[in-house]
Amino acid sequence: MQSYTIGQAARLLGVSPDTARRWADAGKIPTLRDETGRRLIDGRDLAAFSTELARNGNGEEDASVTSVRNAFPGIVTAIKLGDVAAQVEIQAGPHRLVSLLTREAVEELGLEVGMRATARVKSTNVHIDRV
């Protein structure tokens, strides 16, 4: 089974390495040590923890309610406005998401570069590649 360092686990969970380290220190994520002393997280344990984390939410009281399950909280990095359409880019951890929407929607949401936003993805097809 594949194992992950604290930093790799943090990237996969979308949190800072310090947060992942605190969770490991508190025993929320089981760890083991490799021959060099680095703490590692077993892939199965990380998968179970990430599922539990998603099920229990991130604890934010002002989180919106939606039926869309694939949420990518991040920061707006670019906005390109046309006469009718707009393109918004969000960096969510290692993921760059680009959305095409109306200019009116961008203005109604008050989106600006540098502000927090969540991209929500709903698709009928999801492809999985083994890494």
Residue by residue, pLDDT tens for the chain (131 residues) are 689 999 999 888 888 899 999 999 999 999 999 999 999 999 989 988 988 887 776 544 445 566 667 888 888 899 999 999 999 999 887 788 999 999 999 999 999 998 888 888 877 776 667 76
Residues in the chain: 131
What does the alpha-carbon distance between residue 47 and residue 76 come to, in Å, rounded to a whole number?
A: 28
Structure tokens at 56: 């229990």
Q: What are phi and psi of 83, to 5 degrees?
A: -65, -40
What is the reported pLDDT for 66? 62
| CB 29, CB 45: distance < 8 Å | yes
Q: What is the pLDDT of residue 61?
A: 46
Please give the Cα distance from 65 to 4 (Å, whole number): 32
| DSSP, res 77 | E
Element holding 92 (H helix, E strand):
strand 85-92
User: In this structure, what are the phi and psi dihedrals at residue 93, rounded to the nearest 5 degrees?
Assistant: 60, -130
The structure tokens listed for 121 are: 């993805």
Per-residue pLDDT tens for 36-63?
A: 999 999 998 998 898 888 777 654 444 5
